[in-house]
């Protein structure tokens, strides 16, 4: 079996957990520790990618350019990655990221919208970046549809396709099915990015690897949206216990987690923010396949209209809501309350 490539997303997806407040100083120290541990690729930026900083989804503590520069200057061997969501990030953001030293571009979209990534994937390849097609919330579509979208990204020039299980909704047998379908249908490698809403992020990551995934994402201390990402420290330990080849050092990744914890403690406002947990809210969002960012609108609407927030989450899952459709939250809350 070829060596697994580990992508650490603490400094990007983990930014969601601390309200986008990673500073360049924190990013530099955490990246240096990840690099020393042997992590292959380190992703950095706003939780929603370069260009994501805004009032609507949260402003970063520093411009993404400063975060990239801090990480690039602190690593010796790891490649530095950015994520770009067309609509948040632009072609200019991609060019700037490359100019600052990012060498990996993960171009992302909702799992059924690969066609919006064509020009960004092509520009990243033209720049000479290692280019990834990144399908968000892939559990919301069938394996057959995901194969179609992955083939589009492959045709645009993506060098591997990453499956992001953004709601923590799938179970290991389902993850195997998706990864197997892709491995049978595309020529490029497959990666997996898990979330932990049902407590299955490690199990799902191992299932993906068993089915042939060559890249796997993790985040220190499980920082990330919803109940958090696959925890990098636990992931490396599980991979080594399972006999899967990775050059990431177990003691090193544990040390990196300790560095992150120490850095957050130095900032009282960040230290007070609750860390991701598999609590009742997270379980319901995962069970219903609803993006974790909806939890506050759900709670507000349930209180205003006097309905059960759990039933509201189930309704939203049945509607297959995608992030920012907050009007649907109110619509379904009114229906549950019997208001026409």
User: Residue 1's pLDDT is what?
Assistant: 64
User: Residue 24's pLDDT is what?
Assistant: 97
What are the tens digits of pLDDT across the range 80-115? 999 999 999 999 999 999 999 999 999 999 999 999
Q: Under a CB-based contact definition with an 8 Å cutoff, are residues 253 and 236 in contact? A: yes
Q: Under a CB-based contact definition with an 8 Å cutoff, are residues 143 and 181 in contact? A: yes
What are the tens digits of pLDDT across the range 115-136? 999 999 999 999 999 999 999 9
How many Å apart are CA 8 and CA 232, to the nearest integer? 7
User: Which whole number is the average pLDDT over 290-305?
Assistant: 89
CA 156 to chain centre: 22
How many Å apart are CA 240 and CA 235, to the nearest integer? 9
The tokens 């060498």 sit on which residue? 103
Q: What band does 268 get if pLDDT is binned at 50, 70 and 90? A: confident
Examine the pLDDT at 254 and tell me if it is beyond 70: yes
The tokens 């309350």 sit on which residue? 337
Q: Under a CB-based contact definition with an 8 Å cutoff, are residues 107 and 87 in contact? A: no
User: Residue 324's pLDDT is what?
Assistant: 62
Share of the chain above pLDDT 70, in %: 99
Examine the pLDDT at 318 and tell me if it is beyond 80: yes
Could you state, in order of their start, the residue ranges of all structural domains in the chain?
A: 5-271, 290-336
Q: Under a CB-based contact definition with an 8 Å cutoff, are residues 102 and 93 in contact? A: no
pTM: 0.95
- Residue 14, token pair as written in the block: 């983990």
Q: What band does 3 get if pLDDT is binned at 50, 70 and 90? A: confident
Q: Count of CB atoms within 10 A of residue 337's CB?
A: 15
The residues annotated as belonging to the active site are: 16
Q: Under a CB-based contact definition with an 8 Å cutoff, are residues 236 and 6 in contact? A: yes
Domain 5-271: homologous superfamily in CATH = Aldolase class I (3.20.20.70)
Q: Under a CB-based contact definition with an 8 Å cutoff, are residues 284 and 293 in contact? A: no
User: Residue 322's pLDDT is what?
Assistant: 86
Q: What is the mean pLDDT of the chain?
A: 95
Cα–Cα distances (Å) from 96 to 33, 100, 134, in that order, read 25, 6, 20
Q: What band does 58 get if pLDDT is binned at 50, 70 and 90? A: confident
How many Å apart are CA 255 and CA 19, to the nearest integer? 24
Give the Cα-Cα-Cα angle 71, 214, 188 (nearest 5 degrees).
100
User: Residue 292's pLDDT is what?
Assistant: 82
Residue with the bigger pLDDT between 272 and 222: it is 222
How many Å apart are CA 312 and CA 291, to the nearest integer? 13
User: Residue 56's pLDDT is what?
Assistant: 73
CA atoms within 13 A of residue 230's CA, in its CB half-sphere = 29
What are the tens digits of pLDDT across the range 72-88? 999 999 999 999 999 99
What are the tens digits of pLDDT across the range 227-241? 999 999 999 999 999
User: Which whole number is the average pLDDT over 299-324?
Assistant: 92
301 Cβ neighbours under 8 A, 6+ residues apart: 307, 312, 329, 330, 332, 333
Long-range (24+ apart) CB contacts under 8 A made by 15-18 are: 15/45, 15/46, 15/47, 15/60, 15/223, 16/47, 16/223, 16/224, 16/225, 17/223, 17/224, 17/225, 17/228, 17/273, 17/275, 17/276, 18/223, 18/264, 18/270, 18/273
């Amino acid at each position: 079996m070829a060596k697994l490539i580990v992508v650490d997303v603490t400094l990007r997806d983990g930014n969601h957990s601390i309200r986008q407040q990673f500073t360049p100083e924190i990013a530099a120290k955490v990246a240096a520790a990840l690099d020393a541990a042997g992590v292959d690729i380190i992703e950095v930026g706003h939780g929603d990618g370069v260009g994501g900083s805004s009032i609507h989804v949260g402003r970063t503590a520093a411009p993404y350019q400063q975060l990239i520069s801090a990480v690039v200057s602190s690593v010796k061997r790891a490649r530095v990655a950015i994520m770009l969501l067309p609509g948040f990030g632009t072609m200019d953001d991609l060019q700037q990221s490359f100019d600052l030293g990012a060498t990996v571009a993960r171009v992302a979209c909702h799992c059924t919208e690969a066609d919006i990534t064509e020009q960004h994937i092509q520009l990243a390849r033209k720049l000479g970046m290692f280019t990834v097609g990144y399908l968000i919330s892939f559990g919301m579509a069938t394996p057959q549809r995901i194969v179609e979208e992955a083939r589009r990204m492959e045709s645009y020039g993506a060098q591997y396709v990453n499956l992001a299980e953004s709601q923590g909704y799938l179970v290991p047998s389902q993850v195997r099915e998706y990864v197997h379908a892709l491995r049978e249908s595309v020529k490029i490698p497959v990666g997996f990015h898990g979330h932990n809403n049902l407590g299955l992020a490690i199990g799902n990551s191992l299932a993906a690897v068993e089915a042939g995934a060559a890249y796997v994402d993790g985040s220190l201390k499980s920082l990330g949206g919803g109940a958090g990402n696959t925890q990098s420290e636990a992931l490396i330990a599980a991979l080594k216990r399972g006999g899967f080849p990775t050059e990431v050092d177990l003691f090193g990744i544990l040390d990196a987690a300790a560095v992150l914890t120490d850095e957050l403690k130095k900032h009282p406002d960040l230290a007070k923010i609750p860390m991701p947990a598999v609590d009742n809210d997270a379980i319901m969002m995962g069970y219903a396949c609803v993006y974790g960012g909806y939890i506050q609108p759900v709670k507000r609407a349930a209180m205003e209209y006097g309905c059960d927030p759990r039933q509201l989450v189930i309704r939203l899952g049945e509607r297959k809501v995608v992030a920012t459709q907050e009007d649907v939250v109110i619509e379904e809350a009114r229906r549950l309350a019997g208001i026409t």
